[in-house]
């Protein structure tokens, strides 16, 4: 917002800059240098003048005009300083407008987000957690910017592993265990299947035979498969519920079974299919990629073919203008191949497909591995986080009435934010002690800051003007108050940058900076002051900071208790 304002103020005094001025303006690295600065170098070249003289001349004109802005030339830069007593009140009024932070950049455009997508009968892994949390935040960010968002959970519910699972179940299955702890029981069956088939190769044939029956629509195979799907879904839904996540569609890979044939036909018609060792592939040498496998030698379809059918469905039936895939970086090649095949098929919209990858996350040093049954169950991590949050509350605020509820919100928020605050491609070593602390760069720190602001607002309830009307900016001219106002002005810019890079961490970092600025203001000043005019001004700032903290945290999927 400040860049925009600065551009409007400078333009009349520097018409030579034209509209480009908005692109040149920047926030100086240190607050001592001012609020906004204009590097005059590009313009200097164009006008064949020195940047120093352009900066100095424009500074003089701005200072003469006196619009509550002080200008200064320094080393080819034009630095602007907004006069807080003039500007804080005006800016807060703009921030209080409902439209601020709800731009309509995406109006009329639909984004389909592939997110979470765990595999049936396997534990909900940390990778799926990341996909869920990042995908959900992106969904919220796009929606805040006016897009129509469709969240799709692309469940891994098909493949030869289901034949193995059924074979193992027929031999060693335990119905009680399957009902009580379906994923642990399925995992036990997988591990047993793998161990035993090393000794008895017949078992592998049994697995293949069951998968063949499943694909052929055999009653018993279908029924058992269905049991596994339902049982796993129940477990996954518990996690989604705790994270507060809803999908518009939960469509497993099996949903595309009857849609793959048409894709294979189309590929064949377009002469894109080639044989390779009995399998059917699309060669992508021109794109510098290895061939994309479409049909195995036994005619079975595989993962890439499913993704082709899926993308076409999302485009044609769901009306996607943008297709995002929030999936671990290890699948980068897969998505490159799928998008390249789509392009070969003449789907010009393949350019609107985007893989949004992320790096590995370790939980307290442990890596995920399902094969040997050594896994960290996500629910256990959440439970542990909640238990610690509860101990912290018992310590800090033993009187809190709804302690359990608040502990859940803090514990889950700590895990979610512990993920989102990192740029998504970084590998994360998730450390619960760190993530749950109230005074690090954490979710609980943000929540605590919001609760602090809420408590001030309870005290001064009668002194918060509705739309930041009639407040006197004189009371908001300390460096701390001004810094807090400036941070609030940056909300929409953070939203824009987060969307530009599909990077929720931009919003996470912004919220940490806002919370820090707010806390500095809180410690430096007496907010519930004696004079009414002063109380009104300061509480308005508190109220808007609370509002933006809350809406920003909601974008990331964090809840905000008013007391904790
Ligand atoms: N179920 C897959 C896995 O766990 C992820 C699916 C991602 N989405 C997709 N359209 N391929 O690896």
Give me the pLDDT at residue 123, please. 84
- Range 244-266 average pLDDT: 96
* Model confidence at 370: pLDDT above 50: no
Ligand 1 mean position, distance from CA 353 (Å): 15
The pLDDT value recorded for residue 377 is 72
Q: What is the mean pLDDT of the chain?
A: 94
Structure tokens at 416: 């979610």
Q: pLDDT at residue 27 above 60?
A: yes
- Which CATH architecture best describes the domain 2-82? 2-Layer Sandwich (3.30)
Could you give the 3-state DSSP secondary structure of residue 119?
Answer: strand
pLDDT value, residue 476 = 97
Nearest Cα neighbor of 95 from 199, 2, 223 is 2
Nearest CA to ligand 1 atom 11: 307
* ipTM score for this prediction: 0.99
pLDDT band at 451 (very low <50, low <70, confident <90, very high): very high
Residue 374 pLDDT more than 50?
A: no
Domains 2-82 and 378-556 share a fold: no
- pLDDT at residue 372 tops 50: no
**Averaged pLDDT, 95-114:** 96
Tens digit of pLDDT for each residue in 297-340?
A: 877 778 999 999 999 999 999 999 999 999 999 999 999 999 99
- With residue 226 as reference, give the H or E element that holds it: helix 219-243
- Which region, left, alpha or beta, applies to residue 533 given φ > 0 means left and ψ of -120 to 50 means alpha? alpha
Residue with the bigger pLDDT between 126 and 421: it is: 421
pLDDT tens-digit readout, 166-216? 999 999 999 999 888 888 899 899 999 999 999 998 999 999 999 999 999
Ligand 1 pocket test target in 327, 329, 335 with most atoms within 8 Å of CB: 327
Ligand 1 first shell, C-beta below 6 A: 114, 117, 119, 154, 156, 307, 310, 325, 327
Confidence band for 116, pLDDT divided at 50, 70 and 90: very high
74 phi and psi angles, rounded to 5 deg: -150, 110
Closest atom, ligand 1, to C-alpha of 303: 11
Contacts of 384 (CB under 8 A, 6+ apart): 432
| Structure-block tokens of residue 315 | 């485009």
Separation of 218 CA from ligand 1 center, angstroms? 26
74 falls in which pLDDT band (50, 70, 90)?
Answer: very high
Q: Where in the chain are the domains? A: 2-82, 159-239, 378-556
pLDDT for the residue 465: 83
Q: Which helix (H) or strand (E) holds 168?
A: helix 161-172
| Ligand 1: centre distance to CA 325 (Å) | 9
Contacts of 154 (CB under 8 A, 6+ apart): 114, 117, 251, 252, 253, 310
Residue with tokens 């699309």: 282
CATH architecture observed for domain 378-556: Orthogonal Bundle (1.10)
In this structure, are residues 120 and 228 in contact, taking their beta carbons and an 8 Å threshold?
A: yes
Is the per-residue pLDDT at 4 higher than 70? yes
Average pLDDT over residues 82-87: 96
Q: What is the mean pLDDT of residues 419-431?
A: 95
CA–CA distances in Å: residue 205 to residues 160, 291, 304, 491? 11, 29, 25, 59
Q: Return the ligand 1 atom nearest residue 307 CA.
A: 10
The pLDDT tens digits of the residues spanning 514-532 come to: 999 999 999 999 999 999 9
pLDDT for res 365 = 64
Length reported for the chain: 564
CA of 203 to the centre of ligand 1 (A): 27
What stretch of H or E contains 545?
helix 532-556
Q: How confident is the model at residue 373 (pLDDT cuts 50, 70, 90)?
A: very low
What pLDDT shows up at residue 468? 87
């Amino acid at each position: 917002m400040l860049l925009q304002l600065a551009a409007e103020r400078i333009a009349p005094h520097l018409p030579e800059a034209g509209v480009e001025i908005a692109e040149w303006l920047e926030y100086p690295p240190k607050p001592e240098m001012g609020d906004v600065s204009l590097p005059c170098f590009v313009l200097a070249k164009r006008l064949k003048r020195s940047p120093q003289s352009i900066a100095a001349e424009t500074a003089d004109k701005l200072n003469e005009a006196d619009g509550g802005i002080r200008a200064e030339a320094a080393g080819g830069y034009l630095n602007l300083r907004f006069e807080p007593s003039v500007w804080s009140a005006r800016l807060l009024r703009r921030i209080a407008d409902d439209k601020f932070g709800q731009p309509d950049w995406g109006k009329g455009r639909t984004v389909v987000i592939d997110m979470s997508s765990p595999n049936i009968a396997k534990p909900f892994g940390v990778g799926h957690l990341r996909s869920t949390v990042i995908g959900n935040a992106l969904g919220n960010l796009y929606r805040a910017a006016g897009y129509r968002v469709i969240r799709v959970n692309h469940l891994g519910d098909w493949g030869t592993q289901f034949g193995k699972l059924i074979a193992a179940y027929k031999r060693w299955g335990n119905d009680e265990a399957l009902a009580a702890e379906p994923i642990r029981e399925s995992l036990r069956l997988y591990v047993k299947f793998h161990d035993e088939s090393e000794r008895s190769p017949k078992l592998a044939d049994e697995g293949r035979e069951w998968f063949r029956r499943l694909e052929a629509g055999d009653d018993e195979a279908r029924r058992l498969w269905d049991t596994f799907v339902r049982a796993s879904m129940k477990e996954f839904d518990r996690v989604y519920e705790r994270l507060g996540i809803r999908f518009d569609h939960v469509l497993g890979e099996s949903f595309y079974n009857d849609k793959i044939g048409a894709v294979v036909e189309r590929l064949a018609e377009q002469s894109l299919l080639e044989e390779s060792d009995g399998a059917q592939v699309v060669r992508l040498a021109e794109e510098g990629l290895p061939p994309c496998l479409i049909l195995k030698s036994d005619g079975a379809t595989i993962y890439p073919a499913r993704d082709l059918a899926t993308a076409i469905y999302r485009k044609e039936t769901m009306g996607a203008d943008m297709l995002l895939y929030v999936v671990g970086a290890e699948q980068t090649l897969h998505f490159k191949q799928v998008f390249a095949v789509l392009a070969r098929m003449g789907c010009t919209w393949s350019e609107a497909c985007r893989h949004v990858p992320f790096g590995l996350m370790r939980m307290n040093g442990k890596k995920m591995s399902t094969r040997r049954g050594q896994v960290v169950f996500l629910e256990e991590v959440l439970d542990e986080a909640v238990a610690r949050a509860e101990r912290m509350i018992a310590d800090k605020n033993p009187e809190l009435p709804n302690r359990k509820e608040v502990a859940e919100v803090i514990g889950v928020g700590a895990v979610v934010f512990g993920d989102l605050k990192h740029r998504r491609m970084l590998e994360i070593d998730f450390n619960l002690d760190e993530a749950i602390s109230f005074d690090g760069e954490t979710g609980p720190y943000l929540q605590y800051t919001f609760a602090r602001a809420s408590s001030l607002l309870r005290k001064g309830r009668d002194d918060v003007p509705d739309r930041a009307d009639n407040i006197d900016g004189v009371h908001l001219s300390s460096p701390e108050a001004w810094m807090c106002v400036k941070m609030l002005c940056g909300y929409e810019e953070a939203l824009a940058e987060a969307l530009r890079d599909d990077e929720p961490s931009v919003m996470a970092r912004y919220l940490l900076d806002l919370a820090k600025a707010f806390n500095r203001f809180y410690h430096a000043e007496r907010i519930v002051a004696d004079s009414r005019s002063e109380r009104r001004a300061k509480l308005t700032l508190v109220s808007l900071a609370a509002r933006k903290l809350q809406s920003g945290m909601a974008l990331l999927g964090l809840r905000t208790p008013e007391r904790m």
